[in-house]
Amino acid sequence: MRSRLLFFLLPFVLLSFTIKKKEPQHLIPNTKIQTEINRDSIIAYAKQYLGTPYVYASSNPKKGFDCSGFVSYVFNNFGLTLPRSSSGYKNIGKALKPEEFKVGDVLVFYGYKNRNVVGHLGIICEANGMQSKFIHASSGKAQQVTITALDTEHYTKRFYKCVDVLSK
């Protein structure tokens, strides 16, 4: 009986000596963790989604984005968690002066009809004060991720603030 058991177990014992051990997970560097996020990299990543359809309440690039879904998706790729709803930006960060705007800063706008409610977001992709350009998921005519000038009347009159979400 014992010899049959050994005969049966022998292949398993031999196999266990030939299997290579994997490196422990904690020794593999996490490429998403960075001490400083390159602002140009954020914009390059965001521009990959130009033309992605606008879809309300979505942060799925395969389906589409709404404005806050797009912003949170882009920054999440760089390990930064931001509010998923545009209303979450009302009290976030210190408002920057136009001359302080930088690529990668988040523009915060009031809603189209209500100036008490935050209703739209975008990421500055060309910094030039109130003449900056920003990338965003537009629910307007474009109905997609697009680049728009901040100095258009539609956005100038809805402008609430610009915040630097990258600096600590």
In order of 20, 34, 71, 104, 148, the CA distances from 135 in angstroms are 48, 23, 9, 10, 7
128-160 core/surface letters (b: 16 or more CB in 10 A; e: else): eeeebbbbbbbbeeeebbbbbebeeeebeebbb
What does the alpha-carbon distance between residue 68 and residue 74 come to, in Å, rounded to a whole number? Answer: 10
Query: Which stretches of 33-167 are DSSP H helices?
Result: 39-47, 67-76, 153-156
Active site residue: 67, 125, 154, 162, which one? Answer: 67
162 a catalytic residue: no
Tokens 């309440």 correspond to 57
> Catalytic site residues?
67, 120, 136
